[in-house]
Amino acid sequence: MIHKTVLRGTDRNPAGNGAAGKKVVAGVKVAQEFSIDARTGVGAVHLGVTDGATAREFYTGPVGLTVLSDDGDEIVLGSGGKEVVVLHPGADRPVAQRTSGLYHLAIVLPSRRELARVIARLMRNRYPNSPTDHVMTKSDYLWDPDGNGIEIYAETPEDGVFGFADGQFVARDAQGRSRSGRDPIDLEALFGELQPGDRFDVPLPEEAHMGHVHLHIRDLQEAVDFYHGVIGFDVMGVADRWGAAFVSAGGYHHHLGLNTWAGQGAPQGPPTAAGLRRYTIEVADETALGAVTSRLHEAGIDVTEEPGAQVVRDPSGNRVHIQTRAAK
């Protein structure tokens, strides 16, 4: 895996030892004291939207989620009975640009065939989308009507890997050859995965779930200090020149993407604008939740207890619910 090469390479860099007990990866100090439970992942993402009916139509139509409940104030959308996206109508304007918050939420599908179904549906509806070949994943990108970013993807590690080297995003195919990692998907090949009788107008499969969340943050070091140093995600790669870091649990390529592309020091958006209301970090059990909560307390970070969840804000103001997988 490329990221491991990067970390080893940085270890040997004598100029990289910026602080006692920490090593530096691509200009960012990285502590190596503990890892969050390997079964940790991300869960439901809550979004503010301007118009509930418009957003509901988008997320159930082009995206293909299913309505689990809708009381007018909160529209709960999911797949296989689990929450994936929760909409909160009533925002007074679309997503504010150049602010911290959501870059995109990312729903992972179980196969290329399911991704082909989604992209075919979007193409047929002429909904703007950008199918992109990240080698290790095949991803499609689109925006909801308020400007919330969405990625829908399938894992394709048999095609190669992506990672970080020399402060940049890099990708290699299965033969080890360098790839851009940003080429358009070969749609003819992808649509070749479709089977006779596959329908484009049925919901996402029940296995669809939140695979990762990519956040705009105001400072890379600060975000890594929080998500890695306190929460305990492993750093899978840091690219200071690219302005991004990937962190995860259990060796996944990334459960969280963190980037400064909205600007170094990006402020929080107006609370009444559309955008990220909160996202969810799901841990396996109460023991794992207790361990994370203790680290947050020890770090002097404000933690609010809500039913079933420990609630914190990251240093950029992004609200996070940390909860066990079984809890709602």
List beta partners, residue 235.
247
Nearer to Fe ion, 169 or 226 (CB): 169
Shortest spacing between CB 141 and Fe ion, in angstroms: 8
Place of tokens 């840091």: 238
Nearer to Fe ion, 18 or 157 (CB): 157
Amino acid at 83: E
Shortest spacing between CB 211 and Fe ion, in angstroms: 8
Among the residue ranges 52-60, 110-118, 177-185, 206-214, the one whose residues contact Fe ion (CB under 5 A):
206-214
Per rule CB under 5 A, is residue 42 in the interface with Fe ion?
no
Query: Pairing relation of β-strands 137-143 and 82-89?
Result: unpaired
Among the residue ranges 11-19, 164-172, 214-222, 261-269, the one whose residues contact Fe ion (CB under 5 A):
214-222
Nearer to Fe ion, 106 or 262 (CB): 106
Shortest spacing between CB 106 and Fe ion, in angstroms: 4
Nearer to Fe ion, 121 or 214 (CB): 214
Among the residue ranges 10-18, 98-106, 264-272, 320-328, the one whose residues contact Fe ion (CB under 5 A):
98-106
Per rule CB under 5 A, is residue 244 in the interface with Fe ion?
no
Among the residue ranges 67-75, 143-151, 215-223, 264-272, the one whose residues contact Fe ion (CB under 5 A):
143-151
Nearer to Fe ion, 204 or 296 (CB): 204
Per rule CB under 5 A, is residue 214 in the interface with Fe ion?
yes
Per rule CB under 5 A, is residue 138 in the interface with Fe ion?
no
Residues 178/30/36/318 CA torsion (nearest 10 deg): -90
Shortest spacing between CB 80 and Fe ion, in angstroms: 21
Per rule CB under 5 A, is residue 151 in the interface with Fe ion?
yes
Per rule CB under 5 A, is residue 106 in the interface with Fe ion?
yes
Per rule CB under 5 A, is residue 253 in the interface with Fe ion?
no
Q: What CA–CA distance (Å, rounded) separates 124 from 282?
A: 35
Question: Contact residues for Fe ion (CB under 5 A)?
Answer: 106, 151, 214
